[in-house]
Chains A and B, each alone.
Chain A
């Protein structure tokens, strides 16, 4: 199994640009999440999904959209990038209570 994969690994955007961060898992997990990690803030939940076709907001959802058309994929869309969205983004899928994290996407918004 590849586990949780994320692309791209690094990305630089200009303010106002849009983009999609890709996340895929091959473990057939129903529960998937997106987090952002900022220094001194830990991991904060952006959006999550309990299964295909179902998504819900986390702690910091503003400026982000998600969709879950398949069990495997859970893309995160930035609609109009802002410097405040500079962060490291982690996708995770869950089995039981254990989150399996991807390697992360480091995003810089200029």
Chain B
């Protein structure tokens, strides 16, 4: 089945630094999504990408839908302590079931 490989698995950074994470797949996806999960909560949608090459921003977050449709990137600029959490990528494939495939997650810790 379709799988997503997300990296890095974890990051420990200093407040103010920029962060980059990515998601790759051997399969093509039609939509890429990025979620954030705060400790003890369910994931919340950050950004949705709908076409290859698309670059979308949401405040300090910027995400891109790869040209090959097999990858996506998320960047966070000038990190702050509340950026702490787990970031998940998710892909929606070409099948008509509408099932989302999630990456393994990137755990981000920010040192004040």
Query: Which partner residue on chain A sits nearest B50 by CB separation?
Result: A97
Smallest distance from the beta carbon of A62 to chain B beta carbons, Å? 15
Given that A43-B102, A104-B42 are contacting pairs, would A56 and B88 also be in contact in the complex, using a CB cutoff of 8 Å? no
A31 CA to B40 CA, complexed, in Å: 24
Query: In the complex, which of the residues B31, B33, B92, B99 contacts A58, with contact meaning CB atoms closer than 8 Å?
Result: B99
Question: A90 to chain B: which residues have CB within 8 Å?
Answer: 42-43
Most chain B CB atoms below 10 A, which of A45, A59, A97, A104: A97
CB distance from B95 to the nearest CB of A (A): 12
| A residues near B41, Cβ cutoff 8 Å | 103-104
Question: Which residues of A sit under 8 angstroms from B97, Cβ to Cβ?
Answer: 48, 56
Q: Which parts of A1-54 form the interface with B (CB within 8 Å)? A: 4, 31, 33, 35, 40-45, 48, 50
A84 interface residue, CB < 8 Å from B? no
Chain A: residues with Cβ within 8 Å of the partner, total of 25
Tell me what chain A mostly uses at the interface: helix, strand, loop, or mixed. strand
Q: List B contacts of A4 (CB < 8 A).
A: 42
Q: Which residue from A40, A97, A102 sits with its C-beta under 8 Å from B42? A: A102
Q: Does A76 contact B (CB under 8 A)?
A: no
- The answer to whether the Cβ of A92 comes within 8 Å of any Cβ in the partner chain is yes
Q: Given the complex of chains A and B, what is the CA–CA distance between A50 and B95 in angstroms?
A: 14
B104 with A41: CB separation less than 8 A: yes
Query: Once the chains are docked, how many angstroms separate the CA of A4 from the CA of B99?
Result: 19
The interface of chain A, by Cβ under 8 A from chain B, is 4, 31, 33, 35, 40-45, 48, 50, 56, 58-59, 90, 92, 94, 97-99, 101-104
User: Can you pick out 28 interface pairs between chain A and chain B where the beta carbons lie within 8 Å of each other?
Assistant: A31-B98, A35-B102, A40-B104, A40-B105, A41-B104, A42-B4, A42-B6, A42-B88, A42-B102, A42-B104, A43-B102, A44-B102, A45-B100, A48-B97, A48-B99, A90-B42, A90-B43, A94-B98, A99-B35, A99-B45, A99-B90, A99-B100, A101-B42, A101-B43, A103-B40, A103-B41, A103-B42, A104-B42
Contacts A92-B42, A97-B33, A103-B40 supplied; 6 other A-B pairs, CB < 8 Å: A44-B102, A48-B99, A59-B1, A97-B48, A101-B44, A103-B42
